[in-house]
Protein backbone atom coordinates (compact mmCIF):
# COMPACT_ATOMS: atom_id res chain seq x y z
CA UNK A 1 0.00 0.00 0.00
CA UNK A 2 1.39 3.43 -0.93
CA UNK A 3 2.25 5.78 1.91
CA UNK A 4 4.85 8.53 1.93
CA UNK A 5 7.85 8.19 4.26
CA UNK A 6 9.68 11.33 5.27
CA UNK A 7 13.00 10.20 6.72
CA UNK A 8 14.97 11.50 3.70
CA UNK A 9 13.16 14.83 3.38
CA UNK A 10 15.12 18.07 3.31
CA UNK A 11 14.12 21.74 3.20
CA UNK A 12 12.32 23.67 1.85
CA UNK A 13 9.00 22.95 3.52
CA UNK A 14 6.54 21.90 0.82
CA UNK A 15 2.81 22.55 1.25
CA UNK A 16 0.27 21.20 -1.20
CA UNK A 17 -2.83 23.39 -1.15
CA UNK A 18 -6.13 21.98 -2.42
CA UNK A 19 -8.75 24.51 -3.51
CA UNK A 20 -11.61 24.48 -5.98
CA UNK A 21 -14.49 26.75 -4.96
CA UNK A 22 -14.95 30.50 -4.74
CA UNK A 23 -14.69 30.95 -0.95
CA UNK A 24 -11.56 28.80 -0.92
CA UNK A 25 -9.79 31.10 -3.37
CA UNK A 26 -10.41 34.02 -0.99
CA UNK A 27 -9.19 32.10 2.08
CA UNK A 28 -6.19 30.70 0.24
CA UNK A 29 -5.22 34.18 -0.98
CA UNK A 30 -4.77 35.28 2.65
CA UNK A 31 -2.63 32.32 3.70
CA UNK A 32 -0.64 32.27 0.48
CA UNK A 33 0.33 35.92 0.95
CA UNK A 34 1.26 35.23 4.57
CA UNK A 35 3.40 32.25 3.57
CA UNK A 36 5.28 34.38 1.04
CA UNK A 37 5.81 37.14 3.63
CA UNK A 38 6.56 35.07 6.73
CA UNK A 39 8.08 31.81 5.45
CA UNK A 40 10.31 32.62 2.52
CA UNK A 41 11.54 29.02 2.46
CA UNK A 42 8.10 27.47 2.09
CA UNK A 43 7.14 26.07 -1.29
CA UNK A 44 3.42 26.13 -2.08
CA UNK A 45 2.08 23.72 -4.68
CA UNK A 46 -1.46 24.63 -5.69
CA UNK A 47 -4.05 22.13 -6.87
CA UNK A 48 -7.24 23.60 -8.37
CA UNK A 49 -9.77 20.78 -8.49
CA UNK A 50 -12.00 22.59 -10.99
CA UNK A 51 -15.10 22.50 -8.77
CA UNK A 52 -15.81 26.11 -9.75
CA UNK A 53 -14.57 26.77 -13.25
CA UNK A 54 -16.47 29.77 -14.73
CA UNK A 55 -14.25 32.82 -15.24
CA UNK A 56 -16.33 34.86 -12.78
CA UNK A 57 -16.31 32.09 -10.14
CA UNK A 58 -12.60 31.28 -10.43
CA UNK A 59 -10.27 33.19 -12.79
CA UNK A 60 -11.23 36.64 -11.49
CA UNK A 61 -10.17 35.72 -7.95
CA UNK A 62 -6.72 34.54 -9.04
CA UNK A 63 -6.24 37.85 -10.86
CA UNK A 64 -7.68 40.24 -8.26
CA UNK A 65 -6.33 38.53 -5.15
CA UNK A 66 -2.93 37.77 -6.68
CA UNK A 67 -3.08 34.06 -5.97
CA UNK A 68 -0.28 32.11 -7.66
CA UNK A 69 -1.43 30.17 -10.73
CA UNK A 70 -2.36 26.56 -9.93
CA UNK A 71 0.43 24.05 -10.49
CA UNK A 72 -2.19 21.39 -11.19
CA UNK A 73 -5.63 21.96 -12.65
CA UNK A 74 -7.70 18.81 -12.29
CA UNK A 75 -10.74 20.01 -14.25
CA UNK A 76 -13.15 17.98 -12.11
CA UNK A 77 -16.66 19.33 -11.71
CA UNK A 78 -20.18 18.98 -12.96
CA UNK A 79 -20.78 15.49 -11.54
CA UNK A 80 -22.57 14.28 -8.44
CA UNK A 81 -20.95 14.71 -5.02
CA UNK A 82 -19.78 11.11 -5.10
CA UNK A 83 -18.41 11.29 -8.64
CA UNK A 84 -16.56 14.55 -8.02
CA UNK A 85 -15.15 13.54 -4.66
CA UNK A 86 -14.02 10.14 -5.94
CA UNK A 87 -12.32 11.53 -9.05
CA UNK A 88 -10.67 14.26 -6.99
CA UNK A 89 -9.26 11.80 -4.44
CA UNK A 90 -7.68 9.75 -7.21
CA UNK A 91 -6.18 12.76 -8.97
CA UNK A 92 -4.95 14.41 -5.75
CA UNK A 93 -3.32 11.15 -4.64
CA UNK A 94 -1.31 11.08 -7.86
CA UNK A 95 -0.08 14.63 -7.21
CA UNK A 96 0.80 13.85 -3.59
CA UNK A 97 2.81 10.78 -4.56
CA UNK A 98 4.76 12.90 -7.05
CA UNK A 99 5.22 15.97 -4.83
CA UNK A 100 5.80 14.29 -1.41
CA UNK A 101 4.66 17.35 0.57
CA UNK A 102 5.19 18.07 4.28
CA UNK A 103 1.60 19.30 4.60
CA UNK A 104 -1.66 19.22 2.74
CA UNK A 105 -3.61 22.39 3.40
CA UNK A 106 -7.38 22.38 2.90
CA UNK A 107 -9.98 25.09 3.40
CA UNK A 108 -13.61 25.17 4.46
CA UNK A 109 -16.16 22.50 3.72
CA UNK A 110 -16.51 21.63 0.04
CA UNK A 111 -16.02 18.35 -1.84
CA UNK A 112 -12.52 19.61 -2.68
CA UNK A 113 -11.78 19.95 1.06
CA UNK A 114 -12.87 16.41 1.81
CA UNK A 115 -11.12 14.94 -1.23
CA UNK A 116 -7.85 16.65 -0.26
CA UNK A 117 -8.14 15.37 3.29
CA UNK A 118 -8.98 11.78 2.31
CA UNK A 119 -6.22 11.57 -0.30
CA UNK A 120 -3.70 12.89 2.25
CA UNK A 121 -4.74 10.88 5.28
CA UNK A 122 -4.45 7.59 3.39
CA UNK A 123 -0.88 8.45 2.41
CA UNK A 124 -0.01 9.55 5.95
CA UNK A 125 0.59 13.12 4.80
CA UNK A 126 -0.16 15.59 7.63
CA UNK A 127 -3.28 17.68 7.01
CA UNK A 128 -3.99 21.24 8.13
CA UNK A 129 -7.60 22.40 7.96
CA UNK A 130 -8.37 26.11 7.81
CA UNK A 131 -11.83 27.03 9.14
CA UNK A 132 -12.06 23.92 11.29
CA UNK A 133 -14.70 23.21 13.91
CA UNK A 134 -17.75 24.80 12.29
CA UNK A 135 -20.98 22.94 12.75
CA UNK A 136 -24.53 23.67 11.64
CA UNK A 137 -25.73 20.41 13.28
CA UNK A 138 -27.73 19.87 10.10
CA UNK A 139 -26.43 16.64 8.62
CA UNK A 140 -28.53 17.08 5.49
CA UNK A 141 -26.06 19.73 4.34
CA UNK A 142 -23.27 18.20 2.26
CA UNK A 143 -20.95 20.79 3.80
CA UNK A 144 -21.60 19.49 7.32
CA UNK A 145 -20.42 15.97 6.44
CA UNK A 146 -17.36 17.40 4.67
CA UNK A 147 -16.48 19.45 7.77
CA UNK A 148 -16.82 16.61 10.24
CA UNK A 149 -14.81 14.11 8.22
CA UNK A 150 -12.09 16.62 7.37
CA UNK A 151 -11.72 17.75 10.98
CA UNK A 152 -11.36 14.18 12.20
CA UNK A 153 -8.74 13.40 9.56
CA UNK A 154 -6.72 16.58 10.15
CA UNK A 155 -3.60 16.90 12.29
CA UNK A 156 -3.83 20.67 12.72
CA UNK A 157 -7.19 22.38 13.03
CA UNK A 158 -7.13 26.14 12.56
CA UNK A 159 -10.30 27.44 14.19
CA UNK A 160 -11.92 30.81 13.41
CA UNK A 161 -14.02 31.23 16.57
CA UNK A 162 -14.28 30.12 20.21
CA UNK A 163 -17.43 28.19 19.30
CA UNK A 164 -15.48 26.17 16.76
CA UNK A 165 -13.01 25.14 19.49
CA UNK A 166 -15.87 24.01 21.72
CA UNK A 167 -17.41 22.02 18.86
CA UNK A 168 -14.16 20.15 18.28
CA UNK A 169 -13.65 19.42 21.97
CA UNK A 170 -17.21 18.09 22.18
CA UNK A 171 -16.29 15.60 19.44
CA UNK A 172 -13.25 14.43 21.40
CA UNK A 173 -10.58 16.17 19.33
CA UNK A 174 -7.50 16.76 21.48
CA UNK A 175 -6.47 20.32 22.31
CA UNK A 176 -2.97 19.84 20.90
CA UNK A 177 -4.47 19.52 17.40
CA UNK A 178 -6.53 22.72 17.74
CA UNK A 179 -5.04 26.13 16.92
CA UNK A 180 -7.40 29.08 17.58
CA UNK A 181 -6.01 31.57 15.06
CA UNK A 182 -9.11 33.56 14.10
CA UNK A 183 -10.82 33.82 10.76
CA UNK A 184 -8.83 34.28 7.56
CA UNK A 185 -11.87 35.96 6.01
CA UNK A 186 -11.54 38.74 8.54
CA UNK A 187 -7.98 39.24 7.31
CA UNK A 188 -9.32 39.29 3.74
CA UNK A 189 -12.02 41.84 4.52
CA UNK A 190 -9.55 44.18 6.18
CA UNK A 191 -6.93 43.84 3.47
CA UNK A 192 -9.20 44.16 0.45
CA UNK A 193 -11.71 46.76 1.71
CA UNK A 194 -9.36 49.64 0.89
CA UNK A 195 -8.46 48.15 -2.50
CA UNK A 196 -12.18 47.82 -3.23
CA UNK A 197 -12.80 51.49 -2.40
CA UNK A 198 -9.97 52.46 -4.73
CA UNK A 199 -10.63 50.02 -7.57
CA UNK A 200 -14.33 49.15 -7.78
CA UNK A 201 -16.84 51.13 -9.82
CA UNK A 202 -19.72 48.76 -9.10
CA UNK A 203 -21.88 51.34 -7.29
CA UNK A 204 -21.79 53.65 -10.31
CA UNK A 205 -22.25 50.77 -12.73
CA UNK A 206 -25.43 49.63 -10.95
CA UNK A 207 -26.59 53.19 -10.14
CA UNK A 208 -26.53 52.55 -6.38
CA UNK A 209 -25.70 54.80 -3.45
CA UNK A 210 -24.47 54.20 0.09
CA UNK A 211 -27.25 52.67 2.20
CA UNK A 212 -29.67 52.80 -0.71
CA UNK A 213 -30.06 49.08 -1.45
CA UNK A 214 -30.25 45.56 -0.08
CA UNK A 215 -27.61 43.05 -1.20
CA UNK A 216 -28.72 39.42 -1.43
CA UNK A 217 -27.01 36.12 -2.24
CA UNK A 218 -28.61 32.69 -2.44
CA UNK A 219 -26.73 29.57 -3.43
CA UNK A 220 -27.00 26.79 -0.78
CA UNK A 221 -28.20 23.57 -2.38
CA UNK A 222 -30.87 23.26 0.31
CA UNK A 223 -32.34 26.58 -0.88
CA UNK A 224 -31.91 26.26 -4.63
CA UNK A 225 -32.69 22.60 -5.24
CA UNK A 226 -36.17 22.68 -3.71
CA UNK A 227 -38.39 24.73 -6.09
CA UNK A 228 -40.90 25.60 -3.35
CA UNK A 229 -38.23 26.90 -1.05
CA UNK A 230 -36.56 28.83 -3.86
CA UNK A 231 -39.91 30.33 -4.78
CA UNK A 232 -40.53 31.38 -1.16
CA UNK A 233 -37.09 33.00 -0.84
CA UNK A 234 -37.54 34.92 -4.06
CA UNK A 235 -40.97 36.09 -2.90
CA UNK A 236 -39.43 37.37 0.33
CA UNK A 237 -36.77 39.28 -1.60
CA UNK A 238 -39.39 40.65 -4.00
CA UNK A 239 -41.44 41.91 -1.03
CA UNK A 240 -38.31 43.64 0.30
CA UNK A 241 -37.78 45.28 -3.09
CA UNK A 242 -40.78 47.47 -2.26
CA UNK A 243 -38.61 49.09 0.42
CA UNK A 244 -35.23 49.30 -1.38
CA UNK A 245 -33.75 47.94 -4.60
CA UNK A 246 -32.49 44.39 -4.00
CA UNK A 247 -29.27 43.45 -5.80
CA UNK A 248 -28.79 39.73 -6.37
CA UNK A 249 -25.51 38.53 -7.93
CA UNK A 250 -26.55 35.15 -9.29
CA UNK A 251 -24.57 32.03 -8.47
CA UNK A 252 -24.65 29.68 -11.52
CA UNK A 253 -26.57 27.08 -9.49
CA UNK A 254 -29.23 29.64 -8.58
CA UNK A 255 -29.54 30.92 -12.13
CA UNK A 256 -30.08 27.37 -13.37
CA UNK A 257 -32.61 26.68 -10.60
CA UNK A 258 -34.59 29.86 -11.35
CA UNK A 259 -34.73 28.93 -15.03
CA UNK A 260 -35.81 25.37 -14.20
CA UNK A 261 -38.55 26.64 -11.89
CA UNK A 262 -39.70 29.15 -14.50
CA UNK A 263 -39.09 31.98 -12.03
CA UNK A 264 -36.29 33.77 -13.78
CA UNK A 265 -38.30 36.35 -15.71
CA UNK A 266 -40.39 37.40 -12.74
CA UNK A 267 -37.37 37.72 -10.48
CA UNK A 268 -35.39 39.60 -13.13
CA UNK A 269 -38.27 42.03 -13.43
CA UNK A 270 -38.33 42.87 -9.71
CA UNK A 271 -34.76 42.42 -8.46
CA UNK A 272 -31.51 43.83 -9.80
CA UNK A 273 -29.80 40.67 -11.08
CA UNK A 274 -26.18 40.50 -12.11
CA UNK A 275 -23.56 37.85 -12.82
CA UNK A 276 -21.37 36.64 -9.95
CA UNK A 277 -19.06 39.47 -8.96
CA UNK A 278 -15.33 39.63 -8.42
CA UNK A 279 -14.28 39.96 -4.80
CA UNK A 280 -13.52 43.70 -4.89
CA UNK A 281 -16.92 44.54 -6.37
CA UNK A 282 -18.58 42.23 -3.86
CA UNK A 283 -16.78 43.83 -0.91
CA UNK A 284 -17.77 47.26 -2.21
CA UNK A 285 -21.44 46.24 -2.46
CA UNK A 286 -21.33 44.70 1.02
CA UNK A 287 -19.75 47.75 2.62
CA UNK A 288 -22.34 50.14 1.28
CA UNK A 289 -25.49 48.01 1.58
CA UNK A 290 -28.29 48.98 4.00
CA UNK A 291 -28.91 45.29 4.73
CA UNK A 292 -27.48 42.01 3.47
CA UNK A 293 -29.73 38.96 3.04
CA UNK A 294 -27.77 35.76 2.43
CA UNK A 295 -27.48 32.03 2.92
CA UNK A 296 -23.71 32.22 2.41
CA UNK A 297 -21.43 31.60 5.36
CA UNK A 298 -18.81 34.00 4.07
CA UNK A 299 -21.24 36.77 3.22
CA UNK A 300 -22.88 36.60 6.68
CA UNK A 301 -19.52 37.25 8.28
CA UNK A 302 -18.55 39.94 5.83
CA UNK A 303 -21.78 41.75 6.66
CA UNK A 304 -20.61 41.75 10.29
CA UNK A 305 -17.09 42.90 9.39
CA UNK A 306 -18.59 45.88 7.54
CA UNK A 307 -21.20 46.48 10.30
CA UNK A 308 -24.12 45.83 8.00
CA UNK A 309 -27.15 43.99 9.48
CA UNK A 310 -27.69 40.54 7.99
CA UNK A 311 -30.83 38.48 7.41
CA UNK A 312 -29.68 34.87 7.23
CA UNK A 313 -31.75 32.94 4.68
CA UNK A 314 -31.55 29.67 6.60
CA UNK A 315 -32.96 28.05 9.72
CA UNK A 316 -29.56 27.67 11.37
CA UNK A 317 -26.06 29.05 11.03
CA UNK A 318 -22.55 27.92 11.86
CA UNK A 319 -21.75 31.51 12.81
CA UNK A 320 -23.87 31.56 15.96
CA UNK A 321 -22.00 34.56 17.39
CA UNK A 322 -23.62 36.78 14.77
CA UNK A 323 -27.13 35.87 15.88
CA UNK A 324 -26.31 35.89 19.59
CA UNK A 325 -24.90 39.40 19.31
CA UNK A 326 -27.93 40.57 17.26
CA UNK A 327 -25.78 41.49 14.27
CA UNK A 328 -27.79 38.98 12.24
CA UNK A 329 -31.20 37.34 12.44
CA UNK A 330 -32.16 33.88 11.29
CA UNK A 331 -34.84 34.78 8.80
CA UNK A 332 -35.60 31.24 7.66
CA UNK A 333 -37.13 30.84 4.24
CA UNK A 334 -40.73 32.05 4.31
CA UNK A 335 -41.55 35.22 2.35
CA UNK A 336 -42.96 37.17 5.28
CA UNK A 337 -40.13 36.26 7.66
CA UNK A 338 -37.54 37.28 5.07
CA UNK A 339 -39.31 40.56 4.47
CA UNK A 340 -39.55 41.28 8.21
CA UNK A 341 -35.90 40.40 8.79
CA UNK A 342 -34.84 42.81 6.05
CA UNK A 343 -37.07 45.54 7.49
CA UNK A 344 -35.49 44.84 10.90
CA UNK A 345 -32.11 45.42 9.25
CA UNK A 346 -33.19 48.70 7.71
CA UNK A 347 -33.94 50.01 11.20
CA UNK A 348 -30.99 48.39 13.03
CA UNK A 349 -28.21 50.66 14.16
CA UNK A 350 -25.02 50.56 16.18
CA UNK A 351 -24.18 46.91 15.62
CA UNK A 352 -20.92 47.16 17.56
CA UNK A 353 -17.90 45.08 16.74
CA UNK A 354 -16.80 42.27 19.05
CA UNK A 355 -13.66 40.31 18.25
CA UNK A 356 -15.39 36.97 17.64
CA UNK A 357 -13.19 36.30 14.63
CA UNK A 358 -9.75 37.13 16.02
CA UNK A 359 -7.66 40.17 15.25
CA UNK A 360 -7.29 39.97 11.48
CA UNK A 361 -3.94 38.17 11.65
CA UNK A 362 -5.07 34.58 11.13
CA UNK A 363 -3.05 34.27 7.90
CA UNK A 364 0.35 35.09 9.46
CA UNK A 365 -0.44 32.88 12.47
CA UNK A 366 -1.25 29.91 10.22
CA UNK A 367 1.87 30.47 8.13
CA UNK A 368 4.08 30.61 11.21
CA UNK A 369 2.58 27.50 12.78
CA UNK A 370 2.86 25.51 9.55
CA UNK A 371 6.47 26.52 9.02
CA UNK A 372 7.37 26.08 12.68
CA UNK A 373 8.65 29.66 12.86
Whichever of 279 and 339 has its CB closer to ligand UDP, that residue is 279
302 part of the interface to ligand UDP, by CB under 6 A? yes
CA distance 152 to 133: 10
CA distance 334 to 39: 49
Spatial CB neighbours of 258, under 8 Å, sequence gap ≥ 6: 230, 234, 250, 264, 267
360 part of the interface to ligand UDP, by CB under 6 A? no
Whichever of 244 and 314 has its CB closer to ligand UDP, that residue is 314
Helical pair 184-199 and 297-305, crossing angle rounded to 10 deg: 70
- Catalytic residue numbers, as ranges: 219
67 part of the interface to ligand UDP, by CB under 6 A? no
Whichever of 50 and 101 has its CB closer to ligand UDP, that residue is 50
* Sites for ligand UDP among residues 189-218 (CB under 6 A): 217
φ and ψ at residue 25, rounded to 5 degrees: -65, -40
Helical pair 22-38 and 297-305, crossing angle rounded to 10 deg: 60
Query: In 3D, which of 165, 178, 167 has the Cα closest to residue 135?
Result: 167
Stretch that binds ligand UDP, among 111-119, 165-173, 274-282, 320-328 (CB under 6 A): 274-282
Q: Which of 39, 277, 293, 320 binds ligand UDP (CB under 6 A)?
A: 277
Q: Which of 213, 279, 304, 357 binds ligand UDP (CB under 6 A)?
A: 279
231 part of the interface to ligand UDP, by CB under 6 A? no
State in angstroms the smallest separation of the CB of 299 from ligand UDP: 5
Q: Which of 296, 321, 339, 366 binds ligand UDP (CB under 6 A)?
A: 296
Q: How far is CA 290 from CA 114, 189, 221, 350, in A?
A: 36, 18, 26, 13
For CA atoms 89, 160, 219, 149, give the dihedral sign: positive
**Three-class DSSP category at 247:** strand
Q: How far is CA 254 from CA 80, 173, 263, 266, in A?
A: 17, 36, 11, 14
298 part of the interface to ligand UDP, by CB under 6 A? yes
Interface pattern 26-45 for ligand UDP (x via CB under 6 A)? x-------------------
Query: In 3D, which of 72, 82, 88, 157 has the Cα closest to residue 120?
Result: 88
107 part of the interface to ligand UDP, by CB under 6 A? no
State in angstroms the smallest separation of the CB of 14 from ligand UDP: 27
223 part of the interface to ligand UDP, by CB under 6 A? no
CA distance 13 to 372: 10
Q: Which of 20, 101, 182, 249 binds ligand UDP (CB under 6 A)?
A: 249
Applying CB under 6 A, the residues found at the interface with ligand UDP are: 22-23, 26, 217, 219, 249, 276-277, 279, 282, 296-299, 302
Amino acid sequence: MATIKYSMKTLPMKIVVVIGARPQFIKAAVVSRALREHCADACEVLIHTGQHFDANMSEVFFDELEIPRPDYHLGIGGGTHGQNTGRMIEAIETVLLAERPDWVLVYGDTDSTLAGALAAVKLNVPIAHVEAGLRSFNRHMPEEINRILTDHAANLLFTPTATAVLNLRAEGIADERIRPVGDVMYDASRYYAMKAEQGSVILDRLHLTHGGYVLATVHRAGNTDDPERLDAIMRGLMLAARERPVVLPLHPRTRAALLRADLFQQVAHTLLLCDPLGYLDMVMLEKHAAVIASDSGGVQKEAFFHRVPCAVLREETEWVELVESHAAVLAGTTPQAIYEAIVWGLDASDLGMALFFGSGDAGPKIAEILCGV
